[in-house]
Amino acid sequence: MLSAVILDVDGTLADTERDGHRPAFNRAFAELGLDHRWGAQEYGRLLATTGGLQRLEEFLTGAGHPDPAGTAQVLHRAKTAHFLEWVRSGPLLSRPGVDELLADLRGRGVRLGVATTGRRAWVLSLLDRLFGLDGFDVVVTGDDVEQLKPAPDAYLRALAGLGVPAVEVLAVEGSPPGLQAARRAGLSCLVVTNDYTAAQAFAGAAAVLPGFDGLDADRCAALLAGQAPGPR
Half-sphere CA count of 83, side-chain side, radius 13 A: 29
d(CA 210, CA 12): 11
- Cis check for the bond before 229: say yes or no (omega within 30 of 0): no
- Say which of 10, 128, 213, 218 is annotated catalytic: 10
d(CA 159, CA 187): 10
In order of 101, 125, 220, the CA distances from 214 in angstroms are: 8, 27, 11
d(CA 33, CA 25): 13
- Angle at the Cα of 9 (from 158 to 35), degrees rounded to 5? 125
8 assigned to active site: yes
d(CA 194, CA 212): 11
d(CA 201, CA 215): 21
Catalytic residue numbers read 8, 10
